[in-house]
Chains A and B, each alone.
Chain A
Amino acid sequence: MKLTVSYSGMARSVARTASETFDLPAMTTLPDLLAQIAQRHGDKMAHLVTPAHESLPSVLIFVGDEQVTWPSPPPLKDGDHIMLVSPIAGG
């Protein structure tokens, strides 16, 4: 299935793009997708999207307009738009 992932805040700086697509097998889960994103963009992205121990990823994740809540993220489907919002603190 084809998924569009967009990035905001530091996640965009790390990805060096505002948006990109992933072609992944059917039944891919959100944790699978996050692993693919981390693999594509390296350690800095892995630190943003990988939950540390039992905590949550440091990015907010939206599938469409719906914020993902853990530990039960929604299933993904072809055509979904996933947004990774990295909290920022610049004042």
Chain B
Amino acid sequence: MTEPHTPSSLPPLTDADRSRYEWQISTADLGEEGQRKLKAARVLVSRTGGVGSAAAYYLAAAGVGQLLLAHGGAVRPSDLNRQILMTTGAVGHPRVESSARRLRELNPTIEIEAVPENITPHNAASLIAKVDLVINAAPLFEERLAMNHEVVRQRKVMVDCAMYDFDAQVTTVIPGHTPCLACIVSAPPPQWRREFPVFGAVAGVVGTLGAVEAIKLLTGIGQPLTGRMLLANLRDMTFRTLTLKRNPNCPVCRDL
């Protein structure tokens, strides 16, 4: 992470923390120190749609200390097949309020900041400055690339998780060390539209993979998808990991 914590600077666990997280603290390589790293972590989830809802829910469950949620607009009935932080009763109300409420119901011990805006080139800098890691789950390439640009500029870590139909793509960006999103997306596919075919269960798998990746990056467990892309086809349940290369002419990260 940007400012690695030393063991002495990590926040202590309370008895309530130990009770809540005891089933994961026993995970190999995590222990109480890993749980304290999660408690110290600050993560931005943008947006809390089908993918971001699942990611945020599992990060809250895992005890990530501060979650910053960015999502504009009000809940629509058509959100409810996949955006699991939205509720039927919240239709017509801000999505980000429903998201924050559901997360607080799950885990009232963490801090949640809800911003009723989608990421734009205008707000990306200030929002990303508040966090250590970004979960990029926006439905537009322009929004994803705006986040990527700021993540690279601020040298933050980003987990990009995306889906379409039954396909999933997940990769981790560490500026200067891995390809950034602009290396991979040289030109957004011209046919891309914000409204895409999606089952909630597929989006949930992708968001859950993103949460797993974030937990690994925050705690140092396992092998993250740095310089690799997980490609999943859930129609036939095939998973493949491809090695990615940086674009030496990338307009965003070539100078790092």
The 9 closest A-B CB pairs, nearest first, are: A88-B164, A91-B137, A56-B186, A58-B187, A90-B163, A90-B196, A91-B139, A91-B51, A90-B164
Q: Are B198 and A90 in contact (CB under 8 A)?
A: yes
Residue of A with least CB distance to B202: A90
Q: Are B244 and A10 in contact (CB under 8 A)?
A: no
Q: Is A72 an interface residue (CB 8 A)?
A: no
Q: Is B165 an interface residue (CB 8 A)?
A: yes
Partner of B185, one of A12, A69, A87: A87
Residue of A with least CB distance to B185: A87
Distance A12 CA – B169 CA, assembled complex (angstroms): 14
Interfacial chain A residues near B203, Cβ < 8 Å: 90-91
Partner of A52, one of B51, B187, B247: B187
Task: Give chain B interface residues in 185-221, CB to chain A under 8 Å.
Answer: 185-192, 196, 198, 203
Residue of B with least CB distance to A52: B187
Q: Are B191 and A91 in contact (CB under 8 A)?
A: no
Task: Give chain A interface residues in 39-62, CB to chain B under 8 Å.
Answer: 44, 47-48, 52, 55-60, 62
Q: Is B39 an interface residue (CB 8 A)?
A: no
Shortest beta-carbon distance, A8 to chain B, in Å?
6
Distance A48 CA – B187 CA, assembled complex (angstroms): 9
Distance A91 CA – B85 CA, assembled complex (angstroms): 14
Distance A57 CA – B203 CA, assembled complex (angstroms): 26
Q: Are A86 and B189 in contact (CB under 8 A)?
A: yes
Interfacial chain B residues near A89, Cβ < 8 Å: 138-141, 144, 162, 164, 188, 192
Q: Are A56 and B164 in contact (CB under 8 A)?
A: no
Q: Are A91 and B233 in contact (CB under 8 A)?
A: no
Distance A7 CA – B190 CA, assembled complex (angstroms): 17
Q: Is B61 an interface residue (CB 8 A)?
A: no
Shortest beta-carbon distance, B173 to chain A, in Å?
13
Interfacial chain A residues near B245, Cβ < 8 Å: 67, 69
Q: Are A88 and B187 in contact (CB under 8 A)?
A: no
Q: Is B167 an interface residue (CB 8 A)?
A: yes
Interfacial chain B residues near A66, Cβ < 8 Å: 243
Q: Are B243 and A65 in contact (CB under 8 A)?
A: yes
Partner of A91, one of B52, B188, B243, B244: B52
**Known A9-B164, A89-B139; 16 more pairs at CB < 8 Å:** A8-B167, A14-B191, A18-B236, A47-B189, A52-B187, A56-B187, A85-B169, A87-B184, A87-B185, A88-B169, A89-B141, A90-B164, A91-B47, A91-B49, A91-B51, A91-B136
Shortest beta-carbon distance, B114 to chain A, in Å?
17
Task: Give chain A interface residues in 8-38, CB to chain B under 8 Å.
Answer: 8-10, 12-14, 18
Distance A18 CA – B47 CA, assembled complex (angstroms): 30
Q: Are A55 and B191 in contact (CB under 8 A)?
A: no
Q: Is B129 an interface residue (CB 8 A)?
A: no
Q: Is B13 an interface residue (CB 8 A)?
A: no
Shortest beta-carbon distance, A55 to chain B, in Å?
6
Q: A48-B189, A67-B244 are in contact. Are A87 and B141 (CB under 8 A)?
A: yes
Q: Is B106 an interface residue (CB 8 A)?
A: no
Interfacial chain A residues near B139, Cβ < 8 Å: 89-91
